[in-house]
A and B are shown apart, each in its own frame.
Chain A
């Protein structure tokens, strides 16, 4: 296994500028550096509002940083997510870099099974195999079979969150960003997700996570990273 870091965050800074509020500038962090190697799960620490989610989103290319870069090892080469062309970022997100948010955001009226199969079909996996893998994952996440043909809109928060987890974990991403993936889960389901995370880490995945639940954090974290240390001056 390569010991090269899978994620390298270089001197990252983010300041939001709100043009419709008299161009108010909201500095979040600056000069932030972080490396994550295979098998590591770095848990972001710091009080609410310090910029943990902002950092995750900047790493995913969802927020545009004000300075610095984020390199992700993709097909053996580093791609700077903050500067790459959209089609490159999309390719990195399809095969290398996954993001599990707290909330499920999908097209309405599509069945759960279809939603979980879709990421594999996008990657060119044979439909029969994709369906089988989706069913296996949904079973292991204990989502009742009666729900599979239904769209998740009416599911409970915990059920929706498990659909969301399934959509990301089905691709076996080498790099995963986890933004409170267990926030709405009960203890038993949390344990299942913790196992999924540990299996992926054992398989060499690199992760950055936000977990407010201390039990989950202690179960998966290989180290903590304080975002507060890079707080930008207002």
Chain B
């Protein structure tokens, strides 16, 4: 009775959280992305880098269940069905899985927040969507999350537009983490922010990822953000992945001509 344990452990560690297999997306005659395959494990942070037009946002939309690929599959280890093709689920089941197990942080907080609802309501909403009915408990969880993302809890009833861009982004982060997702997608999460605000937000994201053991897929064109956040990188060009590897290896010793160009083009200050 003692033998199976290490085996199971090894299996658990080997079990992917997400498996992307040969995902290709055509927009008519125009290629979005082609033949992308990779796996994610719990707690891993994957950075997808490339210039605009390289297909990284198309890929992010395909793997986050928001844009059906032309071919290929995206499987996620769902709580209810185990490893399942995201696009084989019916619409209500897929939406439920996205709400319960995923988060999606947009570059522009306005795309991820409801601007007419208060900051606090924005953070609490995912709990209500998941069937939370106890107002006091949800309020308390909201306050805790506002503190966690370092926002003034006295402003819980202010509308998002009364917050600065950096603070709006913190509200969006809290809204996407409060329900305990296992996988979070981020599209240029610090893209629209002043550099001074960027550094603090990046540190906060890193801390949350570490403490919550989150798996994150972050799309960015900023190599500094990629270096600080991601464990490993995928470099995209013209819709295809041209290089993958450990983040610091890809940035310090890039192999593909395009990665070399990308890394050597970063301005030094």
Taking Cβ atoms with an 8 Å cutoff, the residues of A that contact B are 16-20, 57, 61-64, 86-87, 89-90, 107-110, 121-122
Residues of B in contact (CB 8 Å), total: 25
CA distance A86 to B232 in the complex (A): 6
Q: Which residue of B lies closest to A23 (CB)?
A: B257
- Inter-chain contacts of B231 with A (CB < 8 A): 86-87, 90
- Inter-chain contacts of B264 with A (CB < 8 A): 20
DSSP class of B's interface residues: helix, strand, loop or mixed? helix
- Inter-chain contacts of A89 with B (CB < 8 A): 246
Query: In the complex the two chains form, is A87's CB within 8 Å of B41's CB?
Result: yes
- Inter-chain contacts of B246 with A (CB < 8 A): 61-62, 86, 89-90
B130 CB–A CB distance under 8 Å: no
Q: Which residue of A lies closest to B252 (CB)?
A: A62
User: A62-B253, A86-B232, A89-B246 in contact; A109/B210 too (CB < 8 A)?
Assistant: no
Q: Which residue of B lies closest to A89 (CB)?
A: B246
CA distance A107 to B41 in the complex (A): 25
- Inter-chain contacts of A20 with B (CB < 8 A): 257, 260-261, 264
Query: In the complex the two chains form, is B248's CB within 8 Å of A110's CB?
Result: no
Taking Cβ atoms with an 8 Å cutoff, the residues of B that contact A are 41, 44, 196, 199-200, 202-203, 206, 210, 228, 231-232, 245-249, 252-253, 255-257, 260-261, 264
- Inter-chain contacts of A18 with B (CB < 8 A): 260
User: A64-B255, A86-B231, A87-B231 in contact; A19/B203 too (CB < 8 A)?
Assistant: no
Query: In the complex the two chains form, is B249's CB within 8 Å of A107's CB?
Result: no
CA distance A108 to B201 in the complex (A): 11
Q: Which residue of A lies closest to B42 (CB)?
A: A87
Query: In the complex the two chains form, is A121's CB within 8 Å of B257's CB?
Result: no
Q: Which residue of B lies closest to A90 (CB)?
A: B231
Least CB distance from A96 to B in Å reads: 15
- Inter-chain contacts of B261 with A (CB < 8 A): 19-20
Select which of B41, B200, B249 is within 8 A of A62 by beta carbon. B249
- Inter-chain contacts of A87 with B (CB < 8 A): 41, 44, 231-232
CA distance A129 to B66 in the complex (A): 44
Q: Which residue of A lies closest to B265 (CB)?
A: A20
User: A63-B249, A108-B199 in contact; A122/B260 too (CB < 8 A)?
Assistant: no
Q: Which residue of A lies closest to B256 (CB)?
A: A19
Least CB distance from B35 to A in Å reads: 20
Select which of A17, A57, A107, A110 is within 8 A of B252 by beta carbon. A57
Select which of A19, A57, A64, A121 is within 8 A of B245 by beta carbon. A64
Select which of A16, A17, A61, A110 is within 8 A of B249 by beta carbon. A61
Q: List 7 A-B contacts (CB under 8 A).
A: A20-B257, A57-B253, A62-B249, A64-B253, A86-B231, A86-B232, A87-B44
- Inter-chain contacts of B253 with A (CB < 8 A): 16, 57, 62-64
User: A62-B248, A63-B252 in contact; A107/B228 too (CB < 8 A)?
Assistant: yes
Q: Which residue of A lies closest to B198 (CB)?
A: A108
Q: Which 6 A-B pairs have the closest CB atoms?
A: A19-B257, A86-B232, A63-B253, A108-B199, A86-B246, A109-B199
- Inter-chain contacts of B44 with A (CB < 8 A): 86-87
Select which of B210, B247, B260 is within 8 A of A121 by beta carbon. B210
| Known contacts A62-B252, A109-B196, then 5 further A-B pairs from the complex at CB < 8 Å, ordered by chain A residue | A20-B260, A63-B253, A86-B44, A108-B199, A110-B203
- Inter-chain contacts of A110 with B (CB < 8 A): 199, 203
CA distance A182 to B247 in the complex (A): 27
Least CB distance from A64 to B in Å reads: 5
- Inter-chain contacts of B228 with A (CB < 8 A): 107
CA distance A18 to B210 in the complex (A): 36
CA distance A16 to B253 in the complex (A): 8
- Inter-chain contacts of B232 with A (CB < 8 A): 86-87
Q: Which residue of B lies closest to A58 (CB)?
A: B253
Query: In the complex the two chains form, is A109's CB within 8 Å of B249's CB?
Result: no
- Inter-chain contacts of B196 with A (CB < 8 A): 109
Least CB distance from B46 to A in Å reads: 9
Q: Which residue of A lies closest to B202 (CB)?
A: A107
Query: In the complex the two chains form, is B210's CB within 8 Å of A122's CB?
Result: yes
- Inter-chain contacts of B210 with A (CB < 8 A): 121-122
